[in-house]
Amino acid sequence: PDAIVIEHPRYAGGHLGATRVDEIDDPRFDFARVLDETFTALKRLGMESERIPLIPAGGINTHEKVRALLSLGAAAVQIGTPFAVTEEGDAHPTYKRVLAEAAPEDIVTFMSVAGLPARAVRTPFVANYLRREQTLQAHAKVRRHCTLWWDCLVQCGLRDGSGRAGQFCIDMHLAAALKGDVKTGLFFRGAESLPFGSAIRPVRELLHYLLHGTPRPEGA
- pLDDT, tens digit (0-9, with 9 covering 90-100), for 78-126: 999 999 999 999 999 999 999 999 999 999 999 999 999 999 999 999 9
How much is the CA Rg of the chain, to the nearest whole Å?
19
CA 150, chain centre distance (Å): 24
Q: Annotate 96-162 with three-state secondary structure.
A: HHHHHHCCHHHEEEEECCCCCEEEEECCHHHHHHHHHHHHHHHCCCCCCCCCCCCCCCCCCHHHHCC
Strand partners, 109: 119
User: With contact defined as beta carbons under 8 Å apart, do 126 and 186 qualify?
Assistant: yes
pLDDT of 41 higher than 90: yes
SS3 assignment, position 175? helix
User: With contact defined as beta carbons under 8 Å apart, do 94 and 102 qualify?
Assistant: no
Alpha-carbon distance of 113 to 140, in angstroms, equals 11
- For residue 139, the model assigns a pLDDT of 92
- For residue 112, the model assigns a pLDDT of 97
- pLDDT, tens digit (0-9, with 9 covering 90-100), for 118-147: 999 999 999 999 999 999 999 989 987 887
Alpha-carbon distance of 133 to 136, in angstroms, equals 5
- pLDDT, tens digit (0-9, with 9 covering 90-100), for 45-65: 998 878 999 999 999 999 999
SS3 assignment, position 86? coil
Alpha-carbon distance of 203 to 12, in angstroms, equals 20
The whole-model pTM stands at: 0.91
In 3D, which of 121, 115, 173, 117 has the Cα closest to residue 147?
173
What percent of the chain shows pLDDT beyond 90?
85
DSSP code at position 193 = P
pLDDT of 73 higher than 60: yes
Alpha-carbon distance of 5 to 102, in angstroms, equals 26
Alpha-carbon distance of 135 to 139, in angstroms, equals 6
Question: How would residue 218 be classed by pLDDT, with cut points 50, 70 and 90?
Answer: low
Q: How many residues does the chain have?
A: 220
